[in-house]
């Protein structure tokens, strides 16, 4: 079973083997509009839960992407440099931002599951 969790800032994190894959939700990309640029962290950089991990720029605004969990950046989605629109077309799949080596898997417990996240989005409408 895949562990998928969400933050109140509309990031998602999914465990794949020993890595945590991070991106923004469909709701977040729809609020941003057309994504034109993504600034990703360097591999090896430490990120802390709740702190900036990446930046996404759209035709409307630039927004920080916060790390849902703490860890070291193991991989970044290089494809976003050439095609940042992947964030719009497949935010939960090919539009992922980075993969982290988790410091503490229990941090996932502080995040929302899918049902709780859906309720949050509905309340914001």
Q: Using pLDDT thresholds of 50, 70 and 90, give the confidence band for residue 1.
A: very low
pTM above 0.85, yes or no: yes
| 38-96 pLDDT tens trace | 999 999 999 999 999 999 999 999 999 999 999 999 999 999 999 999 999 999 999 99
Which residues, listed in sequence order, are joined to residue 59 by a DSSP beta bridge? none
Structural domains of the chain, with CATH? 4-103 (2.40.50.100)
- Structural contact between residues 122 and 112, judged by C-beta atoms closer than 8 angstroms: no
Q: In whole angstroms, what is the distance from residue 79 CA to residue 17 CA?
A: 21
Task: Inform me whether the pLDDT recorded for 125 exceeds 90.
Answer: no
- Structural contact between residues 15 and 3, judged by C-beta atoms closer than 8 angstroms: yes
Q: How far is CA 65 from CA 1, 17, 115, 120, in A?
A: 26, 23, 22, 18
Task: Inform me whether the pLDDT recorded for 27 exceeds 80.
Answer: yes
């Amino acid at each position: 079973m895949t562990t998928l969790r969400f933050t109140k800032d509309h990031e998602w994190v999914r465990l794949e083997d020993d890595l945590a894959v991070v991106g923004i939700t469909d709701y977040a990309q729809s609020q941003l509009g057309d994504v034109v640029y993504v600034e990703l962290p360097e591999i090896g950089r430490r990120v802390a839960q709740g702190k900036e991990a990446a930046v996404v720029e759209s035709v409307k605004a630039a927004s920080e992407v916060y790390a849902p969990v703490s860890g070291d950046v193991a991989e970044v989605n290089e494809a976003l440099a050439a095609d940042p629109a992947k964030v719009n077309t497949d935010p939960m799949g090919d539009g992922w931002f980075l993969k982290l080596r988790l410091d503490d898997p229990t941090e996932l417990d502080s995040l929302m599951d899918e049902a709780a996240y859906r309720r949050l989005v509905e309340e914001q409408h």
